[in-house]
Structure 1
Amino acid sequence: MATFICGESQSLYSPTYFDGENYGYWKTRMTVFIQALNYDLWDIIMDGPNIPTTIVDCKGVPKLKNEYTIFDKKNLQLNARAMHIFYCALGPNEFNRIRSCLSTKEIWDKLESTHEGTNQVKDSRIDMLIHEYELFEMRHYESIYYMFDRFTNIINSLNSLGKSFSNNELVRKILRSLPKSWQDKVTAIEEAKDLTKIKLEDLLGSLLTHELAMWRIEHGNEEMVVFKSLIKENSDEEEEEVSKEWKNRYDFSSDDEEVANICIMAIEEGLNNEVYKFSHTYNERYKFVIDFKDKWLNPD
């Protein structure tokens, strides 16, 4: 059987490794991994294996092994399989923490209480994150990409603790978080869109496109002419390859030609240090622009 690889050399057939860092990330991936493997395993983890019992004098007492039914053995086997998955996923320190547990439910509950805390601790963390959410706003010179990244981290942390917001609440919060320089765009979105229906990812795409347009207006179009001539000197095959790479990384659903032109202008502008500093202030898309520029101007 072929082994497929999923990001960071993570096999689709191996559980995500956990060494004590970033529990929320591991918990989410582990949950889906187990559910995809066998949903009965997930039920065992959540509900615990039922110890095989029999009724004696109106009381439930554990069965002897020779009294186990096929159903009893199946449940015990599921528990053993689930425990094996945890054993494979946990680093030495985390394994030592749970090695005395007799069921996967014990393991799961112990990891949760260790890394998420008691209910009181969870409530305190939720209060802290909600406060951070309420005060959230776009920072000076921060890109839309990084603003969404910070926002998503807060939302995901709250989700892992059982606190969630509707899509409509998140969309409105993002719009309220934008600075005054974005007010015209915010007004345009509010007038043109039904905020109860717009998806958060669609809002992100709209704001990213507007950000690129603002950047082009600020820096002008004079530099585009020189660099376009440089691109024509390269083979059609290379041009197509780089064009595909840009599209694969940052696939805007609308106004693709404008985005491509912005890319060309940004690459030429990248010849000076000002845009290199700009790329560090903004996001990964602009770092890719600098790499893009180097590919064309320094092919060797």
Structure 2
Amino acid sequence: MAAQGHFKGQSVNRPPLFDGEDYTYWKTRMKFFLQGLDYQIWSIVDEGDLLVTNEKDRWMEDDKKKIFLNCKAKSILCCALSKKEFNRISACKSAMEMWEKLRITYERTNKVKETRIDILVTQYERFQMQPGETITQMYSRFTDITNGLAGLGKTYEMGDMVRKVLRSLPASWTPKVTAIEEANDLKRMSLEKLIGSLMAHEINMKRLGESSSRKKHNNALKAVEDTLSEESDGVESAEGSEDEEAFLSRRLQRILAKKKYHSSIRYFKKGKDLKKPEVKDSKKSEPICYECKKPRHIKAECPKLKKTEFRKKDITR
């Protein structure tokens, strides 16, 4: 683990390693490292080598000290670079020249620098807390933007950054934002104090949310249990009701069958009753002989009368 930490430059005794990625981050860390190690060395990197006017054979103790610091500055920079990056600056004569070579390589011209500043400023102005993002994650994104701007020479006042963070919070944080604005002077409030207050509020919101979710879960379980109990009671009552319904259904079918049977009998009798008067009426409409009292002929056509008359004629003859 120690070797890995040294390789990544995570030691106060070793400079941060630059491998060609995230130059702004490395430059800021390297600046702090040199200032903490020896501020005069940082001055050599930033402003140039200490001037030595005497010839080598006439160097004084002060001259030797200056030359030592100049070489030490170059050595520290070389130790902070990977082989690829070292090849870029290996021909440089001074620490300042090495530093400027790296700056031009990765920040390029002032126009490119201004373009990068414009991009980061746009990200700063449009910065908003993302859905599902924690305060820690949001603050990490925010510091990436502000540190990138600071590395390019663009800085904001503390009060401006505090207000920007408050404006980036979603609507659910409005009560907390209002409380912070009323209780604090935003111009004097530090960003760290603001983030600490927001993180404490986030923990309380999470705790209340978990309590509410547990309550809802318990209510849901109770509702499910009540539903299952009602369904079991309903099944039992349904079985009894199904038996009762089946009995009523069979009884109703028998009643309907009897009713249909009786109605058919009444219809049959009614048909007979209707036919009899028709026969009587037909008989009444036919002529009846007064002689023999039989229908379908009259007295003048009665066979019995004709037979009698025929016999009388035979007698007279």
d(CA) in 2 for partners of 1:119 and 1:145?
33
SS at match of 2:88: helix
> How far is the alpha carbon of 1:219 from its aligned partner?
2.2
Identify the residue that residue 36 of structure 1 maps to in structure 2. Answer: 36
Q: Map 1:222-241 onto structure 2 (within 5 A).
A: none
Q: Tell me, yes or no, if structure 1 residue 141 matches structure 2 residue 132.
A: yes
- Residues 178, 10 of structure 1: alpha-carbon distance in 2 compared, 3 angstrom cutoff: closer
> How far is the alpha carbon of 1:145 from its aligned partner?
1.3
Q: Which of 183, 198, 210 in structure 2 is aligned with 1:192?
A: 183
Among the aligned pairs, what percent are the same residue?
47
Q: Tell me, yes or no, if structure 1 residue 122 matches structure 2 residue 113.
A: yes
SS at match of 2:91: coil
Stretches of structure 2 that go unaligned for 5 or more consecutive residues are: 216-317
SS at match of 1:182: helix
Identify the residue that residue 52 of structure 1 maps to in structure 2. Answer: 52
- Residues 92, 124 of structure 1: alpha-carbon distance in 2 compared, 3 angstrom cutoff: same
d(CA) in 2 for partners of 1:91 and 1:158?
25
Q: Tell me, yes or no, if structure 1 residue 207 matches structure 2 residue 202.
A: no
d(CA) in 1 for partners of 2:176 and 2:79?
50
d(CA) in 2 for partners of 1:132 and 1:32?
26
Q: Tell me, yes or no, if structure 1 residue 163 matches structure 2 residue 157.
A: no
> How far is the alpha carbon of 1:8 from its aligned partner?
6.2
Identify the residue that residue 181 of structure 1 maps to in structure 2. Answer: 172
> How far is the alpha carbon of 1:9 from its aligned partner?
7.3
Q: Which of 49, 53, 77 in structure 2 is aligned with 1:86?
A: 77
Under a length normalisation based on structure 1, what TM-score does the superposition of the two structures give? Answer: 0.65
SS at match of 1:108: helix
d(CA) in 1 for partners of 2:161 and 2:137?
16
- Residues 177, 220 of structure 1: alpha-carbon distance in 2 compared, 3 angstrom cutoff: same
Relative contact order, higher structure (CA 8 A, sep 6+): 1
Identify the residue that residue 24 of structure 1 maps to in structure 2. Answer: 24
SS at match of 1:220: helix
Q: Is the 8 A contact 1:34 1:41 kept in 2?
A: yes
Larger radius of gyration: 2
Deviations 1:235-290 (A, max 9, x none): xxxxxxxxxxxxxxxxxxxxxxxxxxxxxxxxxxxxxxxxxxxxxxxxxxxxxxxx
- Residues 132, 71 of structure 1: alpha-carbon distance in 2 compared, 3 angstrom cutoff: same
Q: Is the 8 A contact 1:6 1:12 kept in 2?
A: no
Stretches of structure 1 that go unaligned for 5 or more consecutive residues are: 54-62, 225-300
Under a length normalisation based on structure 2, what TM-score does the superposition of the two structures give? Answer: 0.62
Amino acid at match of 1:215: K
Identify the residue that residue 88 of structure 2 maps to in structure 1. Answer: 97
d(CA) in 1 for partners of 2:198 and 2:138?
11
Q: Which moved more, 1:93-102 or 1:140-149?
A: 140-149
Alpha-carbon RMSD: 2.3
- Residues 120, 27 of structure 1: alpha-carbon distance in 2 compared, 3 angstrom cutoff: same
Q: Which of 102, 112, 115 in structure 1 is aligned with 2:103?
A: 112
d(CA) in 2 for partners of 1:7 and 1:213?
40
Q: Which moved more, 1:11-20 or 1:175-184?
A: 11-20
> How far is the alpha carbon of 1:43 from its aligned partner?
1.5
Deviations 1:179-220 (A, max 9, x none): 111111111111111112221111111111111212222221
d(CA) in 1 for partners of 2:145 and 2:116?
11
d(CA) in 1 for partners of 2:30 and 2:122?
29
* Higher percent of residues as helix: 2
Amino acid at match of 2:35: Q
> How far is the alpha carbon of 1:37 from its aligned partner?
1.9
> How far is the alpha carbon of 1:11 from its aligned partner?
3.2
Q: Is the 8 A contact 2:25 2:148 kept in 1?
A: no
Residue correspondences, number:
212
d(CA) in 2 for partners of 1:9 and 1:125?
26
d(CA) in 2 for partners of 1:145 and 1:85?
34
d(CA) in 1 for partners of 2:25 and 2:152?
12
d(CA) in 1 for partners of 2:171 and 2:80?
48
> How far is the alpha carbon of 1:64 from its aligned partner?
3.4
Identify the residue that residue 64 of structure 2 maps to in structure 1. Answer: 73
Q: Which moved more, 1:146-155 or 1:66-75?
A: 66-75
> How far is the alpha carbon of 1:36 from its aligned partner?
2.0
> How far is the alpha carbon of 1:167 from its aligned partner?
0.8
